Amino acid sequence: NAGVTQTPKFRILKIGQSMTLQCTQDMNHNYMYWYRQDPGMGLKLIYYSVGAGITDKGEVPNGYNVSRSTTEDFPLRLELAAPSQTSVYFCASSYQNTGNEQYFGPGTRLTVT
Amino acid sequence: DQQVKQNSPSLSVQEGRISILNCDYTNSMFDYFLWYKKYPAEGPTFLISISSIKDKNEDGRFTVFLNKSAKHLSLHIVPSQPGDSAVYFCAASPGGSNYKLTFGKGTLLTVNP
């Protein structure tokens, strides 16, 4: 199993550009999550999904969109990049019955200038 | 307002000694608590958890203690090893089927040989 994979690993965006962060898991997990981690801070939940076709907002959803068309994939879309979105983004997944024990991807480091 | 607080940004211990990492929380609705470990340039990995119905959970060298009345938990690592050097995040959730984790800012543990 590859677990949770994220692409790209690094990206630099100009203000106003858009991009999609990809996340795929091969563990057949129902639940998937997107977090961001700013320097010196803990992880903050952006969006999450309890299954294909179902998504919901987390703590910091503004400026982001998600979709969940398959069990495996949970892409995160930034439509109009802003410097405040400079962060490290982590995707995670979990089983329905042990949802707190989340498996994380390696992260995407995004810089918006 | 931080609901999960890790007041020590860093901790340094000698190999073979005990490491104690602390975490405080303010939300009485939290029912499930976890510790995640993170190495640089990697995603967090689940380490150990505890439900609010317990006051202690042990897994090998790692033990988590929960004091609900004080809204405090701690992670003990005995004996500490250089490979334990990492950032440790405390996280909490309301439990049940609500898997939205709230993370602390993390504590950087350095174990010196």
Q: How confident is the model over B40-93, as pLDDT tens digits?
A: 999 999 999 999 999 999 999 999 999 999 999 999 999 999 999 999 999 999
CA distance B92 to chain A (A): 9
Predicted confidence at residue A56, as pLDDT, reads 94
Q: Model confidence at A39, in pLDDT bands (50, 70, 90)?
A: confident
* Chain B residues touching residue A48 (CB < 8 angstroms): 99-100
Instruction: Check residue A100 and give its pLDDT.
Output: 77
Mutating which of B25, B34, B97, B101 best tests the A interface, going by the most A Cβ atoms within 10 A? B101
Local confidence band at B17 (pLDDT 50, 70, 90 cut-offs)? very high
DSSP H or E stretch at residue A10: strand A10-13
Q: pLDDT value at position B6?
A: 97
Q: What is the mean pLDDT of residues B2-29?
A: 96
Average pLDDT over residues B31-40: 95
Give A93→chain B minimum CA distance, Å: 11
How many inter-chain contacts (A to B, CB under 8 Å) are there? Answer: 57
% of chain B surpassing 90 pLDDT: 91
From the list A41, A99, A104, the residue facing B44 with the nearest CB is A104
Q: What is the mean pLDDT of chain B?
A: 95
Mean pLDDT of chain A: 94
pLDDT value, residue B98: 73
Chain A residue numbers touching B32 (CB-CB < 8 A): 100
**Cα–Cα separations (whole angstroms), residue B85 to A53, A102, B99, B107, B110:** 40, 21, 27, 10, 5
Q: Report how far residue B103's alpha carbon sits from residue A66's, in angstroms, rounded to the nearest whole number.
A: 22
Say which of A96, A100, A103 has its CB closest to residue B93.
Answer: A100
pLDDT at A3: 94
- pLDDT for the residue B84: 98
- Is residue A1 very low, low, confident or very high in pLDDT (cuts 50, 70, 90)? confident
State the pLDDT at residue A40: 85
pLDDT at residue A70 greater than cutoff 80: yes
- Please give the pLDDT value at position A38: 94
